[in-house]
Amino acid sequence: MKTEYKHIYFAEQEAKTKTKKFFIKNKDSECLLGEVKWYAPWRKYCLFPEPYKELVFCTECLADIQDFINNLMLEWRKARNE
């Protein structure tokens, strides 16, 4: 699964649950932007932005985050059906 994009990358955290968790970081500054993790009420992976930071995302970065989450959901569904 793709984890590196033009401006951001996703770093998997140590799994303490059944589902995966990823930090989202800026490639240039290594600044933590948030995380992607499972949100049980919606039964989906979601973006949790880093609190207390003034974050700005361009459409390209938002599309990359969407692409990553969509691929993560596909991987989850595939594993669930096996």
pLDDT for the residue numbered 32: 95
**Are 35 and 13 in contact, with CB atoms under 8 Å apart?**
yes
pTM confidence score: 0.90
Q: Is residue 46 pLDDT above 80, yes or no?
A: yes
- Could you report the per-residue pLDDT of 50-75, keeping only the tens digit for each? 988 888 899 999 999 999 999 999 99
- Could you report the per-residue pLDDT of 18-42, keeping only the tens digit for each? 899 999 999 999 999 999 999 999 9
- Name which of 18, 16, 17, 22 is nearest 65 in CA terms: 22
pLDDT for the residue numbered 61: 95
Counting every residue written for the chain, the total comes to 82
Distances (CA, A) of 79 to 46, 73, 76: 18, 10, 5
